[in-house]
Structure 1
Amino acid sequence: MKGLSTELMIIKALKEVEGSYISGEELAQRASVSRAAVWKHIKTLRDKGYGIEAIPKVGYKLVRSPDAILPEEIIPILKTRSFGGQIIYRRILGSTNDLAKKLAEKGASEGTVIIAEEQSKGKGRLNRSWTSPPGGIWLSAILRPEVLPAEASRFTILAAVAVAKAMEKLGVQPDIKWPNDILIEGRKVCGVLLELSSQIGQVDYLVMGFGINANFKLDAIPSDFRDNVTTLYEVLGRKINRSFFISELLYELEDSYRRLLAGGWKSILADWLKRCKMLNQSISLQTIRGTVEGEFIGVDDLGAIRIKLPGGRIKKFAAGDVTIKKRLT
């Protein structure tokens, strides 16, 4: 894979012969560095949590990988063309979206991904805080689509589809609540926050942030929120391989993104509607101007929600917070 770091190439080589030793000389050749440099990088990898045995005149053997979503764990298994080609990892970060925006302003390339094990200032839609304990997946991706700002809302629909498809590969059946909340059995397991910068009618960049409740129990979430949320660990009864899940998420995200830019909006919207259980349900929409109640009848061509009011009139809203009340018959 083009552009791999030295440490990533060493880990890739060790994993290819997992359970066996590989000589320092071969590692040096694979990574195009000296044998002394190999030893320094082995030390750095051990500091990251890798268990690597070393026997003089025999070589090195990988005996343990850390339970961390490191670039060394994700990049070798990516199936994408460009998404995730550069992954910036932090053990603790205020907000992955905030760092992504700073990097985007400095010219970071499309597909750059920021990942944290824990966020201290995680945020959701409508300026809400987002609890981000260790074991979750807190990830932001930088996108640079050549679209109008008015079309940016389509990317929230796209993001929800990508997460849902990745979760389906775990054997769960997620539902989508407009615009991009992912629910399992009626409880939120993932939120998506889209932020953008535009100039003179053109999007400069989008930052797509994902907060996925993965490998932790509900008691890691403040008690006030536990009734409405869940985690993949609670649903599956086991921890998932987070690195594998991220690779699948980035694959689905890139696939949907390229489809959208190639004119495939209708197919993406169809994927979204197939997973949205809100149709024909009575809802309440909280907007900055107040609360609107009515029947959810779908979304428009830009992803705005369409609500049939009690008098029969149909109104569209680009933003707001939905509460599902009951199914209409």
Structure 2
Amino acid sequence: MSDARDVRARILEALSLAEHPLSGSELGRRLMLSRTAIWKHVRALRREGFGIEAVPGRGYRLSDDVLTEAAIRAHLGVPRRIGRSIRVLAETGSTNTDVLAAATAGEDEGLALFARRQTAGRGRLGRRWHTLPKALAFSVLLRPPMHPAEASRLALLAAVAVHEALAAWAPGLGIKWPNDLLAGGRKLAGILTEMRAEPERVQAVAIGIGINLAPPPDGWPDDLRWPATDLETACGRPLPQAQVA
């Protein structure tokens, strides 16, 4: 395995699913790498900000919540359409941009693409969407058989779906037309739909969703365009990223 990012993604996946620490030898056996190579990849992951601790005499384990494809699938069950293909990127500019590029390349409907770090997220009218370390950022690919003039309804449908998914954790959650979800009058999640279309037919739609999972270390700033909140504040406890996804 020559792709370092693929190796590191598989290390994170193995650690996220393990019920006990995994030794360097065990990780090396699974990935067909030496213990030294595993140690170097773990060190690189730590530099990227992942909490991986070494338990003396036992091995490595995650000390914080890490989003992986396997962890998402463990909560998802058998997907009917959305989630038939799941990808988790360590970092990207915009998941919507990536999904539309995948659509152009022939990707089937149902792709769900997540990013642990999104550097150029955006909202309506091109406004910047600030993706915090403790936030869920993802996009899904749809290919609806509809006229482009009808595509605006997808934003509301997405908002209703996100509301249904989060309502149990965020009492009083409401939808602010056309693309925000508010808890206690504060923005908890945002949705952006973008499409590729011909004059009479939609080719592909990317539905981007950003959900604040936890507050920033110094709390939410007062100078935001719209006051913000997060799921942890709304429900009083932290929630695993994969469970929310």
Give TM-score, length-normalised by structure 1.
0.58
How far did 1:240 drift? 1.3
Richer in strand (by share): 1
Report Cα offsets for 1:228-270 as digits up to 9, x if no partner. 2212233233321111010xxxxxxxxxxxxxxxxxxxxxxxx
- On the 8 A contact 1:101/1:207 being kept in 2, the answer is yes
Report the secondary structure of 1:192's partner residue: strand
1:41–1:231: structure 2 CA closer, same or farther, 3 Å change rule? farther
1:38–1:92: structure 2 CA closer, same or farther, 3 Å change rule? closer
1:12–1:69: structure 2 CA closer, same or farther, 3 Å change rule? closer
Partner residue in 2 for 1:113? 112
- On the 8 A contact 1:136/1:213 being kept in 2, the answer is yes
**1:40 aligns with one of 29, 33, 52:** 33
1:97–1:175: structure 2 CA closer, same or farther, 3 Å change rule? same
Partner residue in 1 for 2:244? 245
Please show how residues 250-261 of structure 1 align to structure 2 within 5 Å: none
What is the CA RMSD across the aligned residues, in angstroms? 3.5
Partner residue in 2 for 1:233? 232
Report Cα offsets for 1:253-300 as digits up to 9, x if no partner. xxxxxxxxxxxxxxxxxxxxxxxxxxxxxxxxxxxxxxxxxxxxxxxx
The question of 1:129 aligning with 2:128 is answered: yes
Partner residue in 1 for 2:184? 185
How far did 1:172 drift? 2.4
Report Cα offsets for 1:173-229 as digits up to 9, x if no partner. 310111231011111111100001111411100000011111223846554217622
Report the secondary structure of 2:116's partner residue: strand
The question of 1:70 aligning with 2:68 is answered: yes
- On the 8 A contact 1:69/1:243 being kept in 2, the answer is yes
Please show how residues 37-186 of structure 1 align to structure 2 within 5 Å: 37-40=30-33, 43=38, 63-64=61-62, 66-79=64-77, 80-186=79-185
Report Cα offsets for 1:148-170 as digits up to 9, x if no partner. 11221121111001111111132
Number of equivalent positions:
226
Structure 1 CA distance for aligned equivalents of residues 34 and 171 of structure 2: 39
- Could you list the runs of 5+ residues in structure 2 that have no partner in the other structure? 1-8
Larger radius of gyration: 1
Deviates more, 1:68-77 or 1:200-209: 68-77
Partner residue in 2 for 1:257? none
Report the secondary structure of 2:91's partner residue: strand
1:37–1:54: structure 2 CA closer, same or farther, 3 Å change rule? farther
The question of 1:207 aligning with 2:206 is answered: yes
Partner amino acid, structure 2, of 1:155: L
Structure 1 CA distance for aligned equivalents of residues 146 and 60 of structure 2: 46
Report Cα offsets for 1:94-113 as digits up to 9, x if no partner. 21111111111111221112
Structure 1 CA distance for aligned equivalents of residues 127 and 69 of structure 2: 29
- On the 8 A contact 1:115/1:138 being kept in 2, the answer is yes
Structure 1 CA distance for aligned equivalents of residues 94 and 209 of structure 2: 11
Using CA pairs below 8 Å that are at least 6 residues apart, which structure has the higher relative contact order?
Answer: 2
- On the 8 A contact 2:85/2:111 being kept in 1, the answer is yes
Give TM-score, length-normalised by structure 2.
0.75
- On the 8 A contact 1:71/1:87 being kept in 2, the answer is yes
Partner amino acid, structure 1, of 2:153: R
Structure 2 CA distance for aligned equivalents of residues 109 and 206 of structure 1: 12
- On the 8 A contact 1:157/1:180 being kept in 2, the answer is yes
1:41–1:127: structure 2 CA closer, same or farther, 3 Å change rule? farther
Report the secondary structure of 2:128's partner residue: coil
1:52–1:76: structure 2 CA closer, same or farther, 3 Å change rule? farther
Partner residue in 1 for 2:3? none
Partner amino acid, structure 1, of 2:236: G
Structure 1 CA distance for aligned equivalents of residues 210 and 95 of structure 2: 10
Structure 2 CA distance for aligned equivalents of residues 84 and 41 of structure 1: 34
1:83–1:52: structure 2 CA closer, same or farther, 3 Å change rule? farther
Report the secondary structure of 1:179's partner residue: coil
